[in-house]
Structure 1
Amino acid sequence: MVRKFLFDERFHHYSWHSLQKDLISGIIVGIIAIPLGMAFSIASGVKPEYGIYTTIIAGILISLFGGSKFQIGGPTGAFIPILFGIVMSYGYENLLVAGIMAGFILVLMGLFKLGSLIKYIPRPVTIGFTAGIAVTIFTGQIASFLGLTGIEKKESFIENMSEIFRQIDTVNSYSILTAVICLITILLTPKWFPKVPGPLIGLLLSTLAAVFFYPGQVATIGTAYGEIPNTLPSISLPQVDLGTIQQLIGPALVIALLGGIESLLSAVVADGMTSTRHNSNKELVGQGIANIITPLFGGIPATGAIARTAANIKNGAVSPLSGVIHGIVVLLILMIFAPLASHIPLASLAPVLMVVAWNMSERHIFSHILKTKTSDSLVLVVTFLLTVFVDLTTAVEVGLLLAVLLFTKRMVDAQVIARALPNLNKAGKKVETQMVYDGHDCPQITIVNVEGPLFFGVAQTFQQTIMNTISHKPSLLLLRMGKVPFIDITGEATLTSIVKEFSKHGTILVSGLNAQPEEMIKKTGLYELIGEEHCFKHTGDAIQFALNHVNTSKCLGCSQFAFSECRNLSSSKELVVEPKKVYTSIN
């Protein structure tokens, strides 16, 4: 069973040549992941080695148990504000507990096949909080870039910026020089040496400059956090009780939601680059397993890393084995070179994270959505501002709620309920709304075009409009519902109310029911209430039925001439409708 789970279709047609490609890609991505793992960990408020542990353990587990061939998992920038907030509020031990809880939530999401639901989160919400996270990460590195001392890190963006301004007189020129060397190297390396990981070269050059030209002048990982161990820690179970679980359920849900979104977005990017398809539910299970086990080794929450996944593909990966190799490479480097990492200046890590923030900001998409000046722009701005100035949890909640409300309003605005009649001047006698006007209407037959979903947001308006439309009490009411794609239970209840009310004095007809509305009214018994003989596939058949059931005595002398038969009926002494079926072609 385990073998089948691990060695699935992602390993089909695997060969020695495939292994060579995975080996090269895994080594390159592993080297890229080391500085990012340390930087993300420090920015999250924990020791740098915890980020390395996460890169190793989560990276291997996500590749083995996930649903994507190319996904590279590990710590990511998106988690920084959340994890930092949890560490500040609850402490590092409870961060581990929240990570494990998030892991179980992700596994349940995958088992209950909720992977596809995440794609329904509106794009303005995801772009808004991603851009907000990018701003938080970028500004969070200013103090390290400038080498400021005496900085007390806060959860609040405004408090952090105020703290920077208060300590601005402690600027360290050596730190700025170190950061600039690293930043320039990161920016230029892709242009000159595309295959070489810029962050790693930037760290090496800036660290060498600090060590040889101005030793002891800048804060380093060693001076701030101590020496990095060169082994993995032993498994340790964090202390958990019911109170802790209740306290951390909110943060755990946020970690799980963001982790799910980030991993599936990364998997979608990988699909686009390779013309493959990932298994979203299996990916969530894999992410969950990784987040359950990683905290047992002191690691922080992990998810799919878009940039590292893209690098994995660009360097020739062909299977999840490249992700496993990437984790093993990081482990080997940890065992051999860990003590040397203590000399890395904090100012060198700042540009690494600033570039990550810049790349994840989605600035072009952000600008594009803003330029539309639509309700999506409002959702984007609100989500972005709340992410920066309040917190990600509030931002996502409010962003989703606002998106739902605005979507509902758009659906309400899109609803069309208008009286209509056949256009007798056209060959097909198409039923059109503009055909109803003073002097051209039928007192007995009222046709109403209904367009748009019939749901809770429009139910009251729908009922009021229909009742106002039939205030003259026609004997037959035809509802054309071919453009109603969906009816919810509120819409069905409203339609039932209209049918019951109208049936007291007339007959109601329905035409063009789509599959979902028809299924809904059959389940609730409304279809039976209307009567199968009064439900028509085509409007033409419904009109013919109506004409055959009008009170022809009321047609005498009528000059409205709404239908082809009206002129004949108005003057006919026999009061018989000719069964010509001239409307059967109307849909």
Structure 2
Amino acid sequence: MVKVNFSNLRGDLTGGLTAGIVALPLALALGVASGLGPMAGLYGAIAVGFFAALFGGTPAQISGPTGPMVVVLAGLFASLSGDASLIFTAVMLAGVFQIAFGLFGVGQYIRLVPYPVISGFMSGIGAIIIILQIGRLLGHEPPGGTIGALSYLPTALADINFSTLALGLGTLIIAYKWPASLGKYVPGALAALIIGTLVSLALSVPVLGNIPTGLPSLQLPVFDQSKLWLVIEAAFVLALLGAIDSLLTSLVADNMTRTRHDSNKELIGQGIGNTFAGLIGGIAGAGATMRTVVNIRSGGKYNVSGMVHALVLLAIVLGLSPLAAQIPHAVLAGILVKVGLDIIDWGYLKRAHKGPRWDFALMLVVLSLTVFVDLITAVGVGVVLGALAYVRQVAQLQIEELQKIPQELNDPKENALFEELKDKVSIFSFGGPLSFGAAADLGHRVRERVPAGSQFTILDFSRVPLMDVSAAMAVDTVTSDALAAGRQLILCGANEKLNKVLEGVNEAHPGIPNFETLHEALVFAKKKVGGNGDADDQAPLKAAAQS
């Protein structure tokens, strides 16, 4: 349901106006970096900014072209030899994917990506943006792709245009050092754009040149069978990357406004925005952290601010395109270098040595794959490695818990029975969920820790909320080992879900006692030791779940 909140109209107008001014140089620069031109950047900022605000789930969020999205688009531009119609088709498909993500509730899972993975690919994207702009700062137009730009670097260094280099570095310095007191009126990036462009009038440096003005033309989707898979793959990467980027920005907005966003609604809003962006010839976008922060600090709270930001850019498109044609490439390169430096996760890099080495190694792997392979491989490998590392840590905890064979039990009645049967009974009490991570070592550990002369092995599952099939198969192995060694295996404490999983063990080894409590299991063992433990004795003690 679409809801426009006008209760903070003055603050939203101020925030939206400020965010629109901040977004102008970034939209132009990112449009050029994508290969589709500055107007594609502005059209993308307008479409994504307006519709993501109207339909999204983060009221104060400002959306538009971002560095990560542009990196994917630039790669697609090179792969498709600049075929704009296919690129815009990929942007539309990305929007459709994001709408599907929202409808199927994928938002809650995207937020589970480990932080080192997010840090690695964000820092990698920042590095890519900087690498791609070095050639332009030196006065050249390097070939597409990170490897191509790096390979071209010796050529660019051999023929430096010092005017371009000075202009680009000057723009970068102004963007960084612009006084905060003046930033309230003119944002640093916009000041750098204006000053750099004015200075360039006295220099001979490459500029953007002729830029079309007026409303955009409609771009209908085009499907080329020979390049369809490439377009679909790029669309999926754009959708996934935009979803992660947007939801991370939503978390920042939540922290600043003390609110809680709706992840799935936000994805639907972003999807609608990107679909419209492709239809009007704009580049893909996502929630933009810096513009969102500027909006909130300027008074913006609700979705009116995001829509105002888009309308400000629309007014600029309709009236100021001839002025934008004079902007030098070097000035936009300087602004983009700042964007790249801001994206790199310096905070994590500074404190990485204080955390686990594995997390830092994972971050470096993802960063390297992002820069030298591609984003989807980087994120995919990172998530898999992160998940495996987590499973390994949990498995170690589970095995360590298993090794802590109790010397005495908490319950006095249970402890009295245990003391009486100590030489004949070994108890293994499991803690937490039992998963495939611990399954490989489970049978080996139990076999290792059973004391010589033990007649009974009790597996206590009273602290286990759930178990997977791999762990159940490990219990089956423990059962086989116990029976082969002539020991009586006893199960106890399993809840209804666990008994369901353990049905396979019961079928393979019928007659294995299964009790509701450890006390009942110990009573049964005592009766068996005393010679009174025939089959009828255990019947009233068996858990109702055993069948």
Bucket of the pairwise TM-score, normalised by the shorter protein = 0.7 to 0.9
Determine the structure 2 residue equivalent to 1:252.
235
Determine which of 378, 386, 389 is the counterpart of 1:395: 378
Does the C-alpha gap of structure 1 residues 551 and 386 become closer, same or farther in structure 2, counting only changes over 3 Å? same
Q: Which is further off, 330-339 or 401-410?
A: 401-410
Counterpart contact for 1:509–1:542, Cα < 8 Å: no
Q: Which residue of 2 aligns with 1:461?
A: 441
Distance of 2:231 and 2:303 partners within structure 1: 32
Alpha carbons of structure 1 residues 493 and 340: separation in structure 2 relative to 1, 3 Å: same
Distance in 1 between the 2:306 and 2:424 partners? 73
Instruction: Give CA deviations for 1:455-487 in whole Å, capped at 9, x if unaligned.
Output: 222212112333454586844322233454541
Per-residue deviation, residues 304-326 of structure 1 (Å, max 9, x unmatched) = 11111111111111210110011
In 2, are the aligned partners of 1:422 and 1:430 still within 8 Å (CA)? Answer: no
Residue segments in structure 1 that go unaligned for 5+ positions in a row: 555-587
Asked whether the equivalents of residues 456 and 525 of structure 2 are also in contact (C-alpha less than 8 Å), the reply is: no
TM alignment of 1:215-364, pairs within 5 A: 217-222=204-209, 227-364=210-347
Is the 2:33–2:70 contact (alpha carbons within 8 Å) kept by the matching residues of 1?
A: yes
* 1:35 paired to 2:25: yes
- 1:451 and 1:484 in contact (8 A); partners too: yes
What does 1:113-512 align with in structure 2 at a 5 Å threshold? Answer: 113-147=105-139, 149=140, 151-157=141-147, 159-195=148-184, 196-211=186-201, 213-214=202-203, 217-222=204-209, 227-414=210-397, 415-416=399-400, 417-418=402-403, 420-423=405-408, 442-451=422-431, 453-470=433-450, 474-499=454-479, 502=482, 507-512=488-493
Structure number with higher relative contact order (C-alpha < 8 Å, ≥ 6 residues apart): 2
Q: 2:89: which partner in 1?
A: 97
Instruction: Give the Å deviation of 1:202.
Output: 0.9
Contact 1:53 1:297 in 2 (8 A): yes
Tell me the distance in 2 between the aligned counterparts of 1:138 and 1:550: 75
Greater C-alpha Rg:
1
Q: Cα 1:370–1:83, aligned 2, differ >3 Å: closer, same or farther?
A: farther
Q: TM-score, normalised by structure 2?
A: 0.88
Hey, what does 1:111 align to over in structure 2? 103
- Structure 1 263/430 Cα, relative in aligned 2: closer, same or farther at 3 Å? farther
Count of residue pairs brought into register by the alignment? 522
2: CA distance, partners of 1:375 / 1:493: 30
C-alpha RMSD of matched pairs (Å): 2.9
Q: Any conservation in 2 of the 1:35–1:349 contact (CA below 8 Å)?
A: yes
CA contact (8 A) 1:143 1:164 kept: yes
- 1:506-547 Cα offsets, whole Å, 9 max, x none, are 65444555x6xx42433663697799983335x4x2464245
Aligned to 1:6: 2
Residues 1:65 and 2:52 aligned together: no
* CA-CA distance at 1:422 after TM superposition: 3.6
Moved more, 470-479 or 339-348: 470-479
Pair 244,411 (structure 1): closer, same or farther in 2 beyond 3 Å: same
1:495, CA displacement in angstroms?
2.3
Unmatched 5+ residue regions in structure 2? 533-547
Residue of structure 1 equivalent to 2:497: 519
Q: Determine the C-alpha separation between the residues in 2 that align with 1:262 and 1:429.
A: 57
C-alpha distance in 2 between matches for 1:95 and 1:531: 65
State how far apart, in whole Å, the 1-side matches of 2:154 and 2:334 are: 20
* SS state at 1:71 partner: coil
Question: Following TM superposition, by how much is the alpha carbon of 1:441 offset from its aligned partner in structure 2, in angstroms?
Answer: 8.1
What amino acid maps onto 2:170 in structure 1? I
Q: Percent identity?
A: 32
Residue type matched to 1:354 in 2? V
**TM-fit CA distance, 1:409:** 2.4
2:72 pairs with 1:82: yes
